[in-house]
């Protein structure tokens, strides 16, 4: 089998000179493929990778191996991040593999309008990640008295509290717990919207990722927010300061900021994700 070509990113102009010193997902040297014809002015940053590891079947096997996946994901990101520091960049989804440079030039040519549009949308901007955590048991109401009637939703439990049958008491207790949890849930959702509202006002766009698995991300409680925001580079400090003041305004919420990231979360719809 022959070698294949892995694409990392598409950028404008000749591409970053420092890409020459980078190594990619197969520890291969990273290089530039310049667009021609309709793709002129676009550059794909690519690497030549062995088909033995990157053809469809071996690649699928590798993707189920976490150590391989992590190393490759970090290498993919490292290349994209370097290109991104050089100028406007559209990251390609992980594992976009072509047969040869001609196929890459063909896609630059045929999709040049899409790439140019995406580059314009992320021009001068970067992605910031904000995660928010909340303790379901926290908050003023939930930590109130021991009586199940303590909360606003506990009226029914209080009214029949004199009933001494153990089965009924158990059911009432269960209902009170459920009500407490429901209130905590609504409170968390409200807080997530509060934080999101503040941050979206400083961002060009925002997008919500699914909450991360508690074990994978090593946290306790609820991840009430796992968002990305597209922020103009010269507003990044203002954005970070807003995260800090949200943390002060909502002490029950723990906030975590990451970035700047290349605009991974703001280019995906360009090609029209499969319906």
Partner 1 sequence: MTSRAPSSAAAAGPGPERQVALVDLLDRVLAGGVVISGEVVLGIADVDLVRISLRALVASIRAVQEDEPASAPFAETDPR
> Least distance in Å: CB of 160 to partner 1?
27
DSSP code at position 275: -
Nearer to partner 1 by Cβ, of 8 and 148: the residue is 8
Residue 120 lies near partner 1 (rule: CB under 8 A): no
Rounded CA separation 112/108 (Å): 5
Residue 142 lies near partner 1 (rule: CB under 8 A): no
Look at residue 198 and give its three-state secondary structure: helix
Residue 18 lies near partner 1 (rule: CB under 8 A): no
Residue 210 lies near partner 1 (rule: CB under 8 A): yes
The residues in 76-105 that bind partner 1, with binding defined as CB under 8 A, are: 76-77, 81, 90-99, 103
Rounded CA separation 156/176 (Å): 9
DSSP code at position 23: B
- 27 in Cβ contact with 72 (< 8 Å): no
Look at residue 49 and give its three-state secondary structure: strand
Judged by CB under 8 A, which stretch of 13-21, 32-40, 160-168, 237-245 contacts partner 1?
Answer: 237-245
Ramachandran region, residue 170 (left: φ > 0; alpha: ψ -120 to 50; beta: rest): alpha
> Least distance in Å: CB of 205 to partner 1?
13
The residues in 213-232 that bind partner 1, with binding defined as CB under 8 A, are: 213-217, 219-220, 222-224, 226, 228
Residue 110 lies near partner 1 (rule: CB under 8 A): yes
- Tell me which residue has tokens 């029209």: 272
Task: Pick one of 129, 139, 153, 161: the residue that binds partner 1 (CB under 8 A).
Answer: 129
Rounded CA separation 48/30 (Å): 8
Binding residues for partner 1, rule CB under 8 A, total 83
Nearer to partner 1 by Cβ, of 173 and 209: the residue is 209
Cβ neighbourhood burial of 160 (10 Å; 0-12, 13-18, 19+): exposed
Judged by CB under 8 A, which stretch of 15-23, 28-36, 165-173, 241-249 contacts partner 1?
Answer: 241-249
Residue 264 — φ and ψ, nearest 5°?
-55, -40
The residues in 177-206 that bind partner 1, with binding defined as CB under 8 A, are: 185, 188-189
């Amino acid at each position: 089998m022959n070698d294949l070509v892995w694409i990392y990113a598409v950028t404008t102009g000749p591409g970053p000179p420092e890409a020459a010193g980078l190594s990619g997902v197969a520890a291969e040297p990273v290089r530039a493929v310049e667009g021609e014809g309709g793709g002129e002015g676009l550059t794909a940053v690519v690497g030549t990778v062995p088909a033995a590891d990157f053809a469809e079947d071996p690649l699928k096997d590798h993707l189920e191996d976490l150590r391989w996946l992590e190393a490759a994901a970090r290498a993919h990101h490292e290349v994209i991040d370097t290109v991104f520091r050089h100028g406007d960049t559209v990251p390609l989804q992980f594992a976009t593999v072509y047969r040869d440079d001609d196929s890459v030039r063909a896609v630059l040519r045929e999709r040049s309008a899409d790439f140019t549009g995406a580059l314009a949308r992320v021009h001068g901007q970067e992605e910031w990640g904000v995660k928010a955590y909340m303790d379901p048991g926290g908050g003023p109401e939930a930590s109130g008295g021991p009586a199940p009637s303590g909360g606003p939703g506990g009226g029914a439990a209080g009214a029949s509290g004199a009933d001494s049958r153990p089965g009924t008491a158990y059911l009432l207790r269960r209902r009170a717990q459920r009500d407490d949890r429901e209130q905590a849930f609504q409170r968390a959702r409200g807080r997530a919207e509060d934080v999101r509202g503040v941050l979206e006002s400083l961002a060009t766009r925002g997008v919500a990722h699914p909450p991360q698995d508690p074990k994978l991300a090593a946290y306790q409680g609820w991840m009430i927010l796992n968002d990305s925001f597209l922020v103009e580079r010269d507003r990044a400090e203002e954005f970070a300061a807003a995260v800090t003041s949200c943390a002060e305004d909502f002490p029950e919420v723990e906030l975590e900021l990451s970035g700047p990231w290349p605009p991974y979360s703001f280019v995906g719809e360009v090609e029209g994700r499969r319906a």
